[in-house]
Amino acid sequence: MSTDTTADLDALVATIVAQRSGFDAIAPATSPGAGDEALERLGTLRGRGAFFPFMGSGRGWGPFVECMDGSVKLDMITGIGVQGFGHGDSDLLRATLEAATTDTVMQGNLQCNVDAVDFMDALLSVARTGQSQLAHVFPCCSGAVANENALKVCMQKTNGAPRILAFAHCFAGRTTTMSQIGDSAGARDGIALSTLVDYLPYLDLTDPEGSADAAMAALNECLRRYPSQYACIVLEPVLGEGGFVPATDAFLRPLLERARAAGVPVWFDEVQTFGRTECMFRQQFLGLEDLVDVLTVGKMSQVCATLFRADFNPRPGLLSGTFIGSTAGFRVGRCIIDRLRSGDYYGPNGRIAVLHKHFLQRAKSLMSDHSKAFQSVAAAGGNMELAGGCGGMMRLTPFGGDKTRIIDLVKRCFDAGLLLFFCGHGPFHLRMLAPVGVLEQSHLDTAMDVIGQCIGDMEAAG
């Protein structure tokens, strides 16, 4: 890049950064209704309206984002986990602008620029710790496609083994096959079932030993019933859509070793966990690097990817596709990896762990202030702590995990300026995928205050 271009970009970044002033608190609409026409068009064009009336103006700063009506929201869901460094970050803005000065918007499998290679190199180097044998990385444009590629690699490695081992309540994306692996009835609705999936129970944090025994018994039964028929065992090291349950090494290691011993490849789906818990990868936190044959990432990495061991490298023809990602995605993704690697995010006293501890403390006082709203979830089929998750994956379970009331609460929080979402299959939970790269404890305090006010309003309404 020429000196002139560098100076122009510096000036542009400075101008955009200067426009951020005022984006440091929740604020009401200044032009009520200004986003309504766009929201209506979205509903008409897509055939389905937005879950909540969010229409971004394209401006934001840190965890705050502006809507077209001029309101400023505190974003604790970040596009379902994509904006880990929040909005309008100057480094990421700079990387995006630099990408825009290159010759192509998209990179491909046949032809790519060095941006793609640099990203792949950075991703692989941070994934390969301990006894990891990950050797290759194949980028693509969505978590679901990264998972499709993972499944293909496992299937070829096992000579076309037709069955898949997965965990109850898992999520894997929304392609035809991933919709069948994900354990949710709605995602399979109307899909011709063509994929053979057997489910093992996931860790129950209130009965770790009993659930580990049940999972092992189910695994043994599957292996007895279908010897040499499994292409892989796929797992989310923290159950994401299914309810933010962090698995432990004590739960996973024996299962994965048993699967491996039976010739079943192990695939970690880290699409949701990448970057946001106490290690950059959850497999590292759990010390399970030696058992990972295939691993997928997405969301916070901007570019999605499938990583695999050298002996899983498929024969030519199995993996390809026109696009592997946008130039901006590769540059920003690499910048994010560098920031995560060199910052103070990880470890037991890292920013992310400390934020989670603060969340749990605040959750405790919220629960005592609203004890009627926080009662057992047994009626919804659960038996869990009413606040949980790990790192930037934060869960709260008011109203007995009742779906209608949780969704009502999410929408009330939106109206009060807080963006969050829900997860779980019953019980349902309030769910936050916090922008861990920029979040301060004071932001979390604001979020918890808003949740408390909205719960109070619902209690008052009866």
Find the shortest distance in angstroms from Cβ 334 to ligand PLP.
19
Q: Does 298 bind ligand PLP (CB under 6 A)?
A: yes
Quote the least distance from Cβ 254 to ligand PLP, whole Å.
22
Q: Indicate the residue among 52 and 226 with the shorter CB distance to ligand PLP.
A: 52
- Rounded Cα distance, 363 and 455, in Å: 13
Q: Which of 68, 99, 166, 172 touches ligand PLP (CB under 6 A)?
A: 172
How far apart CA 278 and CA 284 sit, in angstroms, is 9
Nearer residue to ligand PLP within complex by CB, 86 or 242: 242
Alpha carbon distances (Å) from 294 to 125, 182, 239, 259, 461: 15, 18, 18, 14, 50
CB 419 within 8 A of CB 74: yes
Sign of the alpha-carbon torsion through 26, 32, 38, 41 = positive
Size of the site for ligand PLP (CB under 6 A): 15
Coil, strand or helix: which one is 155?
helix
Residue with smaller CB distance to ligand PLP, 62 or 173: 173
Residues 341-378: b if buried by 16+ CB within 10 A, e if exposed: eeeebbeeebbbbebbebbeebbeebbeebeebbeebe
Q: Is 172 or 450 the residue whose CB approaches ligand PLP more closely? A: 172
d(CA 67, CA 48): 20
142 binds ligand PLP (CB under 6 A): yes
For residues 430 and 454, which CB has a smaller minimum distance to ligand PLP in the complex?
430
Asked if 39 touches ligand PLP (CB under 6 A), the answer is: no
- Is 98 a binding residue for ligand PLP by CB under 6 A? The answer is no
Closer to ligand PLP by Cβ: residue 133 or 142 = 142
Q: Which is nearer to ligand PLP, 71 or 78 (CB)?
A: 78
Question: Per CB under 6 A, does 269 bind ligand PLP?
Answer: yes
Q: What does the block give as tokens for 207?
A: 């009965």
Describe the crossing of helices 351-369 and 441-461 by its angle, rounded to 10 degrees: 20
Residues 41 and 396 sit within 8 Å (Cβ to Cβ): no
Q: Does 83 bind ligand PLP (CB under 6 A)?
A: no
Question: Would you count residue 144 as binding ligand PLP (CB under 6 A)?
Answer: yes
Task: Draw the binding track, 147-166, toward ligand PLP (x: CB under 6 A; -: no contact).
Answer: x-------------------
In the bound state, the residue with its beta carbon closest to ligand PLP is: 143
Question: What does each C-alpha distance from 93 to 28, 174, 176, 333, 337 come to in angstroms?
Answer: 26, 30, 35, 12, 15
Task: Look up residue 235 and give its amino acid.
Answer: L
Question: Contact region for ligand PLP (CB under 6 A) — 15-23, 59-67, 269-277, 387-395?
Answer: 269-277
> SS3 of 460, please?
helix
Which of the stretches 23-31, 268-276, 323-331, 410-418 binds ligand PLP when contact is defined by CB under 6 A? 268-276
Q: Taking contact as CB under 6 A, which single stretch among the options 17-25, 156-164, 169-177, 209-217 is the one that binds ligand PLP?
A: 169-177
Q: What's the CA gap between 328 and 270, in Å, rounded? A: 22
- Nearer to ligand PLP by C-beta: 23 or 138? 138
Q: Rank residues 223 and 271 by Cβ distance to ligand PLP and give the closer one.
A: 271
Indicate whether 78 belongs to the interface with ligand PLP (CB under 6 A).
no
Closest contact distance (angstroms) between CB of 371 and ligand PLP is 32
Among 62, 88, 139, 143, which residue sits at the site for ligand PLP (rule: CB under 6 A)? 143
453, 398 in Cβ contact below 8 A?
Answer: no
Q: What does the alpha-carbon distance between residue 435 and residue 352 come to, in Å, rounded to a whole number?
A: 10
- Choices 61-69, 170-178, 346-354, 394-402; region in contact with ligand PLP by CB under 6 A: 170-178
CA 166, 141, 305 angle in degrees (round to 5)? 55
Q: How far lies 459's CA from each of 378, 401, 430, 453, in Å?
A: 20, 15, 16, 10
- Regarding 272 and contact with ligand PLP (CB under 6 A), the answer is yes
Kindly state the smallest distance separating residue 299's Cβ from ligand PLP, in Å.
6
- The CA distances from residue 26 to 22, 209, 261, 449, in Å, are 10, 44, 54, 12
Task: Decide whether 71 or 326 has the Cβ nearer to ligand PLP.
Answer: 326
Q: CA 427 to CA 381: how far, in whole Å?
A: 6
Q: Which of 131, 11, 24, 41 is closest to 88 using CA atoms?
A: 24
As measured in angstroms, the least distance from the Cβ of 27 to ligand PLP is 29
DSSP character string of 160-229: S--EEEEETT----SSHHHHHHS--HHHHTT-----EEEEEPPP-TTSHHHHHHHHHHHHHHHHHHSTT-
**Residue 173 interacts with ligand PLP (CB under 6 A)?**
yes
**Residue 143 C-beta: closest distance to ligand PLP, Å:** 2
Query: Taking CB under 6 A as the criterion, which residues in 390-419 touch ligand PLP?
Result: none
302 in contact with ligand PLP (CB under 6 A): no
Q: Which residues 216-255 are close enough to bind ligand PLP by CB under 6 A?
A: 236, 240-241
Residues 64, 171, 202, 359: which binds ligand PLP (CB under 6 A)? 171
Show the tokens assigned to 149. 């590629």
Q: Residue numbers of the site for ligand PLP (CB under 6 A)?
A: 80, 142-144, 147, 171-173, 236, 240-241, 269, 271-272, 298
